[in-house]
Amino acid sequence: MAFLATVAALLLALILTGVLAMQAWRVADNRAMEQAWSWLQAQAPASVDVFDPAMVEGLPDAARRYFRYTIAPGTPLHVVSEIHMTGEIGLGTKEAPGYRPMRARQLLAPPHGFIWRLERAGAGLMQMSGSDGMAEGRSWTRFWLDGTLPVARAGGDDNHLRASFGRAVAEAAFWAPAALLPQHGVRWEEAGVRWEETGEPNLARAVIRNGTLEQSIEIAVAENGQPFWVKFPRWSNANAEKEWRFQPFGGYLDGFQDFEGFTLPTKVDGGNHFGTEAYFPFFRARVEEVRFPVR
């Protein structure tokens, strides 16, 4: 009996040590995320200009219409956005998407990075939380099940950073259009025929650089300048071979509302293999609020 009691005590001690180690790991994750959040907030300039349509006069037609739709004249040109959202996350496949309700906050500071802070997805013991992000030249994916079990961890390498940069600049077209103005070094190119010749939205194409990273994005623009969708070649291993390569990624935009002079989508559905039969919109966000942090 004494032997069994000793074994039980040892097992209990091991379990408690494991629990404490997991808690310390989660605390370290949260601390790192908070530090990155503060760094990204600090990328907001102390003062900003206001939008004048003359700023985009020399751009290709589709790009010019996009900016005139998304930014009203006289709007302070904030380049950092904080987005509060609900929606659904698909944790499965196109055939069995396994959507779970989610609530998240996102800090978007292109081209420097972003943090998508998942407050919860799912419910009960199967509830997930954590973050996906890029800041200070590093990127990560850190998600936990029920706050105690790590279920997804990635990052710390060039492939993940390259993929994260693509997300940061593509989502600027959704929620931080001022960051894509040419005054920030963004190059806009002709990317399609004019609206009058096709009856369909034409394309605005931008190329964004930050250090050694470069990413192109395409925005389908209606005659009035409203963006319909955003697409870009994302460096990704979300494929059957789990190989890093360029794949089409994108999202559809809808439910536009005014946020302090910016006309932004409140409905965004996006995912891998955009524009192909394999497209799976695993991310379905419904925006509740957009704020613009200032220093």
DSSP 140: E
173-183 pLDDT, tens digit each: 999 999 999 99
Give CA–CA dist 39/136, Å, rounded: 8
pLDDT above 90 (res 124): no
pLDDT above 90 (res 86): yes
For the chain, the distance separating the N- and C-terminal CA atoms, rounded to the nearest angstrom, is: 66
Mean pLDDT of 59-88: 97
Mean residue pLDDT across the chain: 90
Is 241 within 8 Å of 228 (Cβ atoms)?
Answer: no
Q: Rounded to two decimals, what is the model's pTM? A: 0.89
pLDDT of amino acid 251? 95
Mean pLDDT of 99-107: 96
pLDDT above 70 (res 153): yes
pLDDT of amino acid 16? 58
pLDDT of amino acid 295? 75
Give CA–CA dist 173/182, Å, rounded: 13
Is 228 within 8 Å of 253 (Cβ atoms)?
Answer: yes
188-209 pLDDT, tens digit each: 998 766 555 555 568 999 999 9
Of 238, 236, 272, 268, nearest to 88 by C-alpha is 268
pLDDT of amino acid 196? 58
The amino acid at residue 89 is I
Q: How does residue 48 score in pLDDT terms, banded at 50, 70 and 90?
A: very high
Q: How does residue 123 score in pLDDT terms, banded at 50, 70 and 90?
A: confident
Residue 175 DSSP SS3: helix
Of 94, 148, 145, nearest to 120 by C-alpha is 145
Strands (E), 79-181: 81-90, 99-109, 113-121, 128-135, 138-145, 149-155
Instruction: Identify the H or E element spanning 265.
Output: strand 262-272
Of 82, 146, 80, nearest to 109 by C-alpha is 80
Between residues 25 and 175, the one the model is more confident about: 175
How many percent of the chain have pLDDT more than 90?
A: 75
pLDDT above 90 (res 147): no
Q: How does residue 118 score in pLDDT terms, banded at 50, 70 and 90?
A: very high
pLDDT above 90 (res 3): no
pLDDT above 60 (res 19): no
Assigned token pair, 70: 């998304």
Mean pLDDT of 229-235: 97
Between residues 183 and 22, the one the model is more confident about: 183
The amino acid at residue 273 is H
Give CA–CA dist 119/84, Å, rounded: 11
Is 238 within 8 Å of 246 (Cβ atoms)?
Answer: no
Q: Which of 25-29, 48-52, 156-160 has the lowest mean pLDDT?
A: 25-29
Of 129, 128, 102, 135, nearest to 33 by C-alpha is 135
pLDDT above 70 (res 95): yes
* 145 CB-contact burial (10 Å; exposed 0-12 / middle 13-18 / buried 19+): middle
Mean pLDDT of 112-140: 91
Write the CA distances from 137 to 112, 134, 158, 236, integer angstroms.
8, 7, 10, 18
